[in-house]
Structure 1
Amino acid sequence: MLALTVTAAGAVFAGPGVAAPLWPGGPDIPGAPAAVQTPPPENGAAPVKNPPALPQANFAAPGISPGDGDVVGVAQPIIINFKDPVGDHDAAEKAIRITSSNATHGHFYWHGDKQVRWRPEEFWPANSDITIEAAGTKVAYKIGDEVITTADDATHTITITRNGEVVKTMPTSMGKAKHETPNGIYYVGEKNRKMVMDSSTYGVPVDSPEGYKVDVEWATRLSSNGIFVHAAPWSVAQQGVSDASHGCLNVSTADGQWFFENSQKGDPVVVQNSTGTFTGDGMSDWN
């Protein structure tokens, strides 16, 4: 940069400037170093000391799940619900900060204008501490052990590992012809000690050939549209042998209870060697 000097006689000449501007178009301050703006940490990065302030949010304080103090599985996405529709998604994402004690890359994705989710590209590292900040709301929770369930329709077997070690196997009967359990990555949701499963809730009358209304125990939800791991004493003869359900993972009463008691919200359940792909469901974040 050149500095202009005016002599007593009124002549003007140019010479080297004494300092670079602090920012393009900004003033020259002799001897001052050029300012370097620190970019905000990427979402999913490890916490930093004295992080830069978040931009002004274009939304009110939102609801966030998981909740403060929760412990969840390695497949659990972050879900942020807004009180009002958010038009500028990009600006909203910039006003959200997610940190992890075990840094991981991830991405946002929107469900309409009132909900945004974030998940890592791969499962969360086990035993990570996660914090979320958005419009004055702050939540801190923990990722638990890496508990992964694999349901293989070729062998009709469910295998559960904890931190890489097999801890349980159980025979299962999955979806029969025309009701096949889709392949994909599910994750544990709500749990019902007892519930009524009613085919009419998804358009199949109870009195039709494929209809049913049955009391079920130890039901662990895997999808929003009604796929569960649950006790099915009526299909024990098929479990480990063939498929007989309407899409659920049928297991014995003892195995249903074990899964209910030993799985946690957000634990992944991988279905393989079936047909189709699990998509278009409120819990299909990994597909």
Structure 2
Amino acid sequence: MHQQRKTIALLIFLVIVWGINWPLSKIALHYAPPLLFAGIRTVIAGIILIFAALPKWKKLDFKRLWPVYLISAFLSIVFYYGFQTIGLQYVPSGLFSAIVFLQPVLLGIFAWIWLGESMYGLKLAGLLLGFLGVASLSIGGFNGSISVQGIVLALASALSWAFATVYTKRNAARVDMLWMTAMQIMIGGIILLSAGSVTESWADITWNAAFILNTLFISVFVIALGWMVYFNLIKNGEAGRVGSFTFLIPLISIGSSVVLLHEQITLNLVIGLLLIVSSIVLVNVRISRRTLRRPTH
């Protein structure tokens, strides 16, 4: 029971901070080029996590595990945040996050193919409902121009995140999860910062309070703590089941985007909410059945 409460608390934290990340990132992009912004926030998060991991120095084993750290850095950080930060310039933040959260559907399928997780009728129906919920959020959900380039970047972001989660789960037994998270974020951040330094100008960054506070919040809570919580949940539970709860994140993103960026709510968003809640119930219902069927002694 204690473990269950802890898991629920971690999921609530993750859904909230990852949800408000989208409008906060959109605001920060008014003051900085995308790759430099992505690099700055991930390098800060990487430094925080490395300091947190230092007491477990011997578990780093960089000489043997560097290929794992590097591949994970590209999938989880370079591709995911690179596509995300550039794509947010083309479409509203709530809409972009909704498209990215096709990820749980992809993750449920990939976890079935590569992780051997079960795929049964209710789970498949739940994943499909989640996808329909995201589609409902995307189609006509917001006013403003909808860029094909932005949608493609959102889908690419979803794919890279799903592959990253499966790759991390497959290698979880080989690595210390704190060092895995710290290394992928630090390596990915350095790559993004280097790319930004070559293709963008540091002089284009406006170092005002809005940019600094948003960047620090995203670095500490969204990236450093967020990824650490996410990968620990993935390591200790079914990747597909944990991923299903991330369907809730676009709802937080949409709500905070309405408040912070004045993006508008429509009927599509309400329908999307109902589909997403139904999705989470269906993906998790088998666990409840097993509990109910457990014999008493």
Query: Could you state the TM-score of these two structures normalised by the residue count of structure 1?
Result: 0.22
For CA contacts below 8 A with separation 6 or more, give which structure has more relative contact order: 2
Higher relative strand content: 1
Larger Rg: 1
The structure carrying a bigger helix percent of its residues is 2
